[in-house]
Structure 1
Amino acid sequence: MTETNTTTANTTTTNTTNAPTTEFELHSGRGRFNAAFFRAMGPYLERSLRRRKQRVFAGLPGEVVEIGSGVGANLGYLPAGSTLIAIEPNRYMHAALRAAARRDGVQLDLRERMAEQTGLPDRSVDTVISSLVLCSVQDPAAVLAEIRRVLRPGGTFRFVEHVVAKSGTPTRAAQRLFRRPWAWTFEGCSCERDLEQSLRTAGFESVAVEHYRVHTPFLPFNTQIAGTAQA
């Protein structure tokens, strides 16, 4: 889609053009911890989320943009031979992401950028996906505006995210209790965001959302939404 400058493997390229003005504050300790955590916990989290991901990510096209690709948890939902434009600012995730792309036969266009500024042209893609990402971006409204900007008319943003629980519930109390250590550990991740409201006020033509709950020891994480927003 745009020129790439550095080839890292047969299935991987890294784009370094048009460097963003917003900087990702990469912490060497937490960055490495999160890369290791999601490599180790990926299979467990995937078992909790697979049914929703299978529905939301069904029939993905041959080229997909993903914000916060992490260590490649969603590569298995892309058709073999397809291209993933991966927006991932944590470079400690990159080695595992490249390995996952090789394993799944996906051409990886890896961009070390923040989701608020993807560097992609206006109305240039049909599909953007995310999972467990909007909780940790600096500015969810700016990220959703960026997704709308790069989607072609009729294109879709498909998402699986954890969200704030209802007031008065034990999960909501846990989210309040753990919000500071949770955010510090997981690089700014908030367990208190009303992402459905953010999606419904972001200017998409339509938004379909399913609420559900997973059952894990990570109580602040257990209230979830999945769905599709159409540009």
Structure 2
Amino acid sequence: MSFREKYARLGERYNVLEKPLDGALCPLRRKAVSFARGKTLEIGVGVGKTLRYYPKDVELHAIDAVPEMVRIAENRARELGLNARFYVMDAERLEFPSESFDTVISSFVFCTVPNPEVAMREIHRVLKPGGRAIFLEHTKSDSRLLNWLFLKPLDLLLGALLDDNTLRETQRLVGEYFEVEHEESHYHGIVRLMVGRKEG
């Protein structure tokens, strides 16, 4: 079963699954979105957990590979009175012209994307020169002990449940494609917030 099918089955229950983590993660989502300016693309919007944090002057476009998730996010945007456009689309195949966006945001997406390097290349392509790419991601910890005692078992569980990979080093990939302006490590690197700028 693909990650799309697994997330489609979860639907609204995804909120329940992640509810215990909201206290820790929602302030980080708010902070990540605070870097957004102008025409913004959110990659992997899911059930729309970031939507309430967007300022009204941002022109928001949001994608997800799972149609069921896109419908939930659209409903949430309507409830919030948010003017946003939603698309069913893969991160590895963004159907937008090059240099279309001032900001691209990815929030807990690169642990699931099947081909992270292709997705990163696509984000770089659709971002305008001088634009910002914002990543709030699960990553491999700086602590070997945490990786073995916590992340490795979690990786097995979430891998089976959602095709998530909690041991990816997305921060390295961000550094290969963007000039990193800001980076924060939380919970010994289990979560990182990175802001990169495209040259030019």
Q: How does 1:62-77 map to 2 (within 5 A)?
A: 62-77=38-53
Letter in 1 for 2:73: L
The TM-score with structure 1 as length reference comes to 0.76
The answer as to 2:13 corresponding to 1:37 is: yes
Higher helix share: 2
Letter in 2 for 1:104: L
Letter in 2 for 1:209: E
Structure 1 spans left out of the alignment, 5+ residues: 1-23, 215-221
Q: Which residue in the other structure is 2:183 paired with? A: 209
Q: Which residue in the other structure is 1:229 paired with? A: 196
Change (3 A) 1:165 1:37: farther
User: How far did 1:34 drift?
Assistant: 3.3
The answer as to 2:26 corresponding to 1:26 is: no
Structure 2 spans left out of the alignment, 5+ residues: none
Change (3 A) 1:154 1:115: same
The answer as to 2:85 corresponding to 1:118 is: no
Q: CA-to-partner distance for each residue in 1:101-150, whole Å, 9 max, x for gaps?
A: 10222223221111011111111110011111011001111111111101
Q: How does 1:23-172 map to 2 (within 5 A)?
A: 26-27=4-5, 30-41=6-17, 43-58=19-34, 60-80=36-56, 82-166=58-142, 168-172=144-148
Q: Is the 8 A contact 1:91 1:112 kept in 2?
A: yes
d(CA) in 2 for partners of 1:140, 1:152: 20
SS in 1 for 2:11: helix
Q: Is the 8 A contact 1:163 1:194 kept in 2?
A: yes
d(CA) in 1 for partners of 2:96, 2:146: 41
Change (3 A) 1:191 1:185: same
d(CA) in 2 for partners of 1:81, 1:55: 17
d(CA) in 2 for partners of 1:199, 1:59: 16
Change (3 A) 1:117 1:210: same
Q: CA-to-partner distance for each residue in 1:16-69, whole Å, 9 max, x for gaps?
A: xxxxxxxx7632xx2334323322245543321233333332153343101100
The TM-score with structure 2 as length reference comes to 0.87
Runs of 4+ in 1 over 6 A off after TM superposition: none
